[in-house]
Structure 1
Amino acid sequence: MSIVYRGAGPGDMERISGLMTRAMPRDVVSAERLGRNLLLEPNHDPRGLIIAEHPEDGVIGAAYGTCAERGVPALPTSGYMTLACVDPGHRRRGIGRALFERVRDHLAERGATSLTVAGYPQAYFWPGVDAEEHPEGIAFLEACGLAPSGMAAAMSLDLDAWSISDSVRDLVRTRRADGFRFGPATVEDLPEVIAFASNRLAPDWGEVLREAALRDPAAVRRVVVARDPHGAVAGLATYGAYGDTFERFGPFGVDETRRGTGLGRILLSLTLMQMRSEAAHGAWFLWTGEKSPAGHLYASTGFTVSRRFTVMRTDLHTPQSAKAPRNEDQR
């Protein structure tokens, strides 16, 4: 029976969510979140969402590709595949390859010169592929010409078993005596905090903070700010900013001129305390360098690695669709 490859229609977010429960149950995503990260992301093009449908079994595969043409940061030649899965009962029949080729060609037609899985700044589900959970996914992508280009560690902390250390309490007292101030942000702080995040930490983080504050007034006070003796923002940490759960930690960073002073350790611990005060039982995030200074800071505070993701990437050249016509039985 012919597999039909089509775009999205009514009810497909529920169908894709159901597909994911069969294909990747550890990574299942709700229909609401799929809609937010696929249909409502700032660079959405309907042609980038490809669904494989079986005449009897329904939706058996899906993939999504997009380019960071607009938004912060704007990376118009960078293409991303943020979702790809095939029903276990229909694997090894060329469906995954057909989905991938359609995504690849779509991105090349939009002007992308690279394809990365996943890590799309504006709306990603995972920073890459969990090689332990999905070894067949890594092998498939390698067969499609992608190669590892980096690693990302997801980490988590049991807040029920955590408490701020005496050494951090002492460090807070020392830095306060030096003139530093720490505390939750107010709405009046936000313009300066957003500018600091965008200009001193990461281009997209200011937008994350702004959108969080517009979505939920509680997000304002969930930004913990460090100010230096002159009153300037020197660092920040927050949680719940991405809108999925308030136990998700980040963004978090300290101005590079103030690193090595313990401000990061203070902000991290004070933010975890504030999360616990809101009855959070855990803190987690998806992406850091395990061997980076931030990774060491998290580990020394009590975070442990929960998953490791491999970032996969390839260069894009002439779209495959320009080289040869497709079999119309798989349109």
Structure 2
Amino acid sequence: MISYRYYESGDEQKIVELWNESLLHDPITSNRFRNLVLLDANFDPKGFRLAIDDDRIVGCVYAVRRLLPMMGTDLEPENGWIPFFFVHRDFRKSGVGEALMQAAIDFLAAEGRKNVFFASYAPNYILPGIDEDSYSEGYAFLLNQGFEKQYSPVAMDRSLVGYIPSEAVMDLKKRREQEGYSFATAQDKDLYEVIKFANTQFNPDWGRAIREGVLQGLPLNRILVARNGSKLVGFCIYGGYEGIPDRFGPFGVHPDEQGNGLGKILLQDCLKNMRSEGLHGAWFLWTGEKSSAGYLYKKTGFEVTRRFHVMKKTI
């Protein structure tokens, strides 16, 4: 008979084993599970629900709400997230998944949440959303549970084997430098400004990624900054998320400066630096395929490798 309970100390290995049996396209190590889940400042065992058959874990769902704001004092009190769920193949379509999901929804509802998202949780998201191609059963399950598709970000990759910078972009960079722009690797004096710029112009998760990346040993030469005179107008980094050197981003140019080709220059300089370190590829998990950034990536040789659906349920 199936029983249900919260996560308890000592469950970690069994959870990771079931994860790797269930989410074949997205395996995880014990270290990553510890860092992304157990050490998350918002982790609460009451949101981590497990299904047990005898002494075996056969299902899992993780629900989380903010206990620590991303920026300022905003705890997003109406929002909750489900970053992942999975059920052993032998127990699918048996009601286990439904029971786990309902328990997760009840947990978030009891905490006053009105909106539940799969899986656009920051800072420690595993994937941006559900990959319908890889997990068609999971996508159908979310739809059956009352989740609705909000938008569909894409992951993109680019091989750096044989990468050569574009002469046209190199010429553009020279013209912009003659106009008073500068492009350089970051120094200590840039860090506060870059983090503030990322937080205020884009997303607090971007500023967090820079700050925590440097604290965890991210070399400053993996952070590039663009200035118009003394004003910071753009940045990009690589190796900031989980210390993975070929993971590109975040990357942004001030809205007032977009259209001047600064994004092309920063992106090309970044790829050139990545190749000079001997990296064979660059990839990231999340952009809008039809956004200006998405078009820039495609023009620079990136290709869509996965598509995700961010899902939402109102409770």
TM bucket normalised to smaller: over 0.9
SS at match of 1:4: strand
Specify the SS of the correspondent of 1:129: coil
Tell me if the contact between 1:160 and 1:281 (Cα under 8 Å) persists in the aligned partners: yes
**Which structure 1 residue ranges, 4+ long, deviate > 3 Å from structure 2?**
none
* Match status 1:152 vs 2:153: yes
1:182 aligns with 2:180: no
1:162-189 CA distance string (max 9 Å, x none): 2211111111111111111111101121
Q: Which AA in structure 2 matches 1:226? A: A
Distance 2:278 2:235 in 1: 21
Q: Deviations over 1:288-329 (max 9, x none)?
A: 00011100000000000000001111101xxxxxxxxxxxxx
CA RMSD of the aligned region, Å?
1.3
CA distance in 2, matches of 1:237, 1:273: 13
Residue identity (%) = 38
Once residues 232 and 10 of structure 2 are traced to their aligned partners in structure 1, the CA distance between those partners, rounded to angstroms, is: 46
- Structure 1 residues 251-303: Cα deviation after superposition (integer angstroms, max 9, x where no partner): 10000010000000110110111111122111111110001110000000000
- Paired position in structure 2 for 1:281: 280
1:11, 1:273 → 2: CA distance? 45
Aligned to 1:304: 303
Contact persistence 1:180–1:227 (CA under 8 A): yes
**Aligned partner of residue 227 in structure 1, secondary structure:** strand
Q: Is the 8 A contact 2:8 2:45 kept in 1?
A: no
Provide structure 2 residue ranges, at least 5 long, that are not aligned to the other structure: none
Please name the residue that 2:254 is paired with: 255
Query: 109-118 or 198-207, which moves further after superposition?
Result: 198-207
Q: 2: CA distance between counterparts of 1:70 and 1:111?
A: 16
Structure-2 residue corresponding to 1:265:
264
- Partner Cα separation in structure 2 for residue 232 and residue 243 of structure 1: 29
CA shift at 1:143, angstroms?
0.8
Aligned to 1:42: 41
CA distance in 2 between counterparts of 1:84 and 1:173 reads 50
Residue range with higher mean Cα deviation, 34-43 or 264-273: 34-43
Give CA deviations for 1:216-237 in whole Å, capped at 9, x if unaligned: 152x2211000112x1111000
- Measure, in 1, the Cα distance between the counterparts of 2:134 and 2:5: 28
After the TM superposition, which of the residue ranges 140-149 and 2-11 deviates more from structure 2?
2-11
Residue 37 of structure 1, CA deviation: 1.8
Q: TM-score, structure 2 length as denominator?
A: 0.96
The whole-number CA distance in structure 2 between the counterparts of 1:275 and 1:20 is 32
1:72 aligns with 2:70: yes
Superposition deviation, residue 30 in structure 1:
1.3
Deviation at 1:69, TM superposition (A): 4.2
Deviation at 1:4, TM superposition (A): 2.0
Task: Provide the TM-score with structure 1 as the length reference.
Answer: 0.91
SS state at 1:212 partner? helix
Residues in 1 aligned to 2:185 and 2:179: alpha-carbon distance in whole angstroms? 19
Displacement of 1:244 in angstroms is: 4.5
SS in 1 for 2:65: strand
> Hey, what does 1:323 align to over in structure 2?
none
How many equivalent pairs are there? 312
Paired residues of 1:227 and 1:235 also in contact (CA < 8 A)? yes
Greater Cα shift, 131-140 or 3-12:
3-12
Deviations 1:120-172 (A, max 9, x none): 01210000000111111111111111111111100011111422111111111
Question: Contact 1:226/1:233 (CA < 8 Å) preserved in 2?
Answer: yes
Deviations 1:12-65 (A, max 9, x none): 222222112211211111121112222221211110111112115x11111101
Cα distance in 1 for partners of 2:135, 2:44 equals 28
